[in-house]
Amino acid sequence: MDRLPVLRRFSNGLGAPGRFHNPWKETMVSRTGRSGRRSALATTLVVGALALAGCSSPGSGGSTAEPEGPDTDTPGESTAIDCGTEPVTLKGYFETGFPLPTELAREFERQYPNVSFDIREDQFAVLTQGAPRVLADDPPDLMRLPQMSELAKDGLLLNLDSYAEYFGWDEWPESQLEQMRVDENGRRGSGPLYAMGLNFSMTGVFYNKEQAAQIGMTEPPATLAEFDAYLQAAKDAGLTPLAQFNGGATGGLAFPLQALMASYGDTGAINDWIYQVPGSTIVTESNIKATEHLQSWIEAGYFADDVNSMDYAMMMARFINGESVFIFNGDWESGNLDAQMPGNVGFFLMPPLEEGGSFGAMSAPLTYGISAYAENPECAAFFLNWVATDETARTIAVEVGGSHPMGPADAYMPPIAEGSVTAETLAAGAAIGEQDGAMDFIANATGTVYAEGWTPNLQKLVAGEIDPVSLLEAVQAEYLREVG
């Protein structure tokens, strides 16, 4: 509701400034004199306001001192990194709508009674917008992080290398930590570790088992051609094959697109592009083929006709109500889907072009970082290690989070109900791990490539306003605007 202040500002500043004048003089001055006086007053006010704004450049001499960072000397045997025995309050800043971190915090409090959590929650969009400010001014000990390369580059996140060494995180499969490493240029993929996952999620295709049986799909497709045939069969049966979110500020067609990219090409090249390896481009032959394939799905009418106004919540509601045979989504929904439509959901990884080919999937850790200015970094690091190694914590990570816990490949895994979609996604995750088929999300390449590149152009593709090559070129241009 800032229409009225706008008006008021307007009329105060320019319409009727006589208020500050001596009315005696007001009657004496001519009309031109008045407007001269008026501008003089305006100038005085603006200059005064400028003086108030301060002449120093923004951002200089802020409230924050140089971050202390973790102890630079390697932690010795004697100085254990844990939460001690004194009362500690860990400040957590989590994402609304995802119960996993809070559940883990409650269990941790139970096991370590001297620790209590002070938890604040916000929507992911709010976290994204406020992250730098919060990390600097109101530093949390643990925070759910958005795209983190800028945050690490700006020195707002604690370098976790010494903890990684102490706890032995560096002996875990490297693919788990790779995405959370940021080098001095703000490029992800290598360099010091700046965050840790509570688990790592993975994407693929969920399907409604009842409807799949109806269209003759008894087992997941082994090739892309088979998948195409099932989509057509669903269409022929009068069902909606794919209700995929792609409306407003969401470019959810990036999920099927990236899956198709992995079917047509090599996941390594896509990761290079995401990690901003110099010279990499998204406009490659295989990516063009993948985008053309996506376009063929749009033209064949496999997507619901209102995908361009469908948000994520609408997609989930429709899938759960049986209004979509397939959806491209991630295993963070496994627990939810097992509860909402028990026994009726299946999951498969996007099939390769040819039978026996390799699979690819987007996979990313649920990243939590420690502010460079945090009060209890050691206790926070201890918590992150506990999440990955404690058996109860790993059970919570699977049952509440639905995704695979972090940690060594041979670590404890809780028993999962046969036939649940959680079991299927965990198995698929293991397969991806073996094949090294994990990719980060193409939307995470830069801070703006999703909002300014993928989203509007995928919406244009749906509307038939852009061709596949131009789409990739537009995204690449947006990418270079930030990287170059």
Q: Which residues bind other proteins (CB under 8 A)?
A: 1-3, 5-7, 9-10, 12, 14-16, 18-20, 22-24, 26-27, 45-46, 48-50, 52-53, 57-60, 62, 128-129, 132-133, 136, 150, 154-156, 247-249, 305-310, 447-448, 451-452, 455-457, 459-460, 462-463, 465-466, 482
Q: Which is nearer to other proteins, 129 or 190 (CB)?
A: 129
> Could you tell me the smallest distance in angstroms from the CB atom of residue 399 to other proteins?
33
If the CB atoms of residues 251 and 377 are measured against other proteins, the closer one turns out to be: 251
CA-CA distances (angstroms) from residue 39 to 8, 16, 18, 47, 448? 18, 12, 11, 12, 41
Q: Is 328 left (phi over 0), alpha (psi -120 to 50) or beta?
A: beta
Instruction: Compute the least distance from the CB of residue 463 to other proteins, in Å.
Output: 4
Q: What is the DSSP letter of 452?
A: I
Considering the complex, what minimum distance in angstroms separates the CB of residue 44 from other proteins?
A: 10
Please count the CA atoms within 13 angstroms of the CA of 310 that sit on its side-chain side. 22
Q: What is the DSSP string of 118-172?
A: EEEEE-HHHHHHHHHHHHHHS--SEEE-SS-HHHHHTT-B---HHHHHHHTGGGS
Long-range contacts, stretch 468-476, CB < 8 angstroms, 24+ apart: 468/288, 468/291, 468/292, 468/294, 468/295, 469/283, 469/288, 469/291, 471/291, 472/282, 472/283, 472/287, 472/288, 472/291, 473/283, 475/282, 475/449, 476/281, 476/282, 476/283
DSSP per-residue codes, 345-364 = EEEEPPPPSSTT----EEEE
Q: How far is the CB of 114 from other proteins (least distance, A)?
A: 33
**Least CB distance from residue 309 to other proteins, whole Å?**
3
Closer residue to other proteins in complex, CB, 182/462 = 462
Of 244, 328, 245, 254, which is closest to residue 291 (Cα–Cα)?
A: 254
Nearer of residues 209 and 235 to other proteins, judged by Cβ: 235
DSSP state of 41: H
Pick the closer one to other proteins by CB: 262 or 449: 449
For 457: left if phi > 0, alpha if psi spans -120 to 50, otherwise beta; the answer is alpha
Contacts of 80 (CB under 8 A, 6+ apart): none
Query: At closest approach, how far in Å is the CB of 38 from other proteins?
Result: 13
Q: Considering the complex, state which of residue 83 and residue 136 has its C-beta at the smaller distance from other proteins.
A: 136
Chain center to CA of 196: 14
Instruction: Count, in order, helices (H) and strands (E) of the chain.
Output: 20, 11
For CA atoms 346, 349, 352, 355, the dihedral sign is negative
Min dist. Cβ of residue 294 to other proteins (A): 15
Nearest to other proteins of 186, 402 (CB atom): 186
> Toward other proteins, which CB reaches closer, 32 or 85?
32
Q: How far is the CB of 139 from other proteins (least distance, A)?
A: 12
In the complex, the smallest distance separating the C-beta of residue 332 from other proteins, rounded to whole angstroms, is 22
CA distance 458 to 297: 13
Cβ at position 57, least distance to other proteins in Å: 5
Q: At 368, is the secondary structure helix, strand, or coil? A: strand
For other proteins, the closer of residues 156 and 421 by Cβ is 156
Q: What angle (nearest 5°) sits at the alpha carbon of residue 141, between those of residues 138 and 142?
A: 110
Minimum CB separation of residue 307 from other proteins in Å reads 7
Q: For other proteins, which is the closer residue by CB, 167 or 245?
A: 245
Nearer to other proteins, 115 or 462 (CB): 462
